[in-house]
Amino acid sequence: MKVEGRRNSYRDLIVWQKGMLLCKEVYLLTQNFPKEEIYGLTSQMRRSVISIPSNIAEGRGRNSDKEFIRFLQIALGSIYELQTQLELAFELGYTNSIENLINLSIEIEKI
């Protein structure tokens, strides 16, 4: 979605765009998790993944580079949480493959 009249928006950041893609993919993945996980792993993974682009956006809206960096660090912590949760979901047999999601999360981590 393009927002007219905005320069240097968080929406222009590749890292935010990739974070949004990761969100979509994790939400789609967790739709197939067992119903008993709705308040457990499903909920935790969704909170972790939504925290990534949300913190990037919030940090971008702050008035200083120092604040932006702090929010990027929070987003990075959420990436590590999500990677751990993805590995657990795989080990529990809730998904056959996490490779694409792990690779995308690593790509975001590097940016």
- Per-residue pLDDT at 49: 98
Mean pLDDT (whole number) for 52-65: 95
- Single-letter residue type at 84: T
2: three-class secondary structure by DSSP: coil
Our measurement of the distance from residue 35's CA atom to the centroid of its chain's CA atoms, rounded to an integer in Å, reads 22
**Residue range 1-18, pLDDT digits in tens:** 554 555 579 999 999 999
CATH superfamily of 10-110: 23S rRNA-intervening sequence (1.20.1440.60)
Mean pLDDT (whole number) for 67-71: 97
- Name the phi and psi angles at 7, rounded to 5: -110, 145
pTM: 0.91
Q: At what angle do helices 99-110 and 65-91 cross, to 10 degrees?
A: 160
Mean pLDDT (whole number) for 68-86: 98
For the chain, give percent helix, strand, coil, nearest 5: 75, 0, 25
pLDDT above 60 for 50 = yes
pLDDT above 60 for 40 = yes
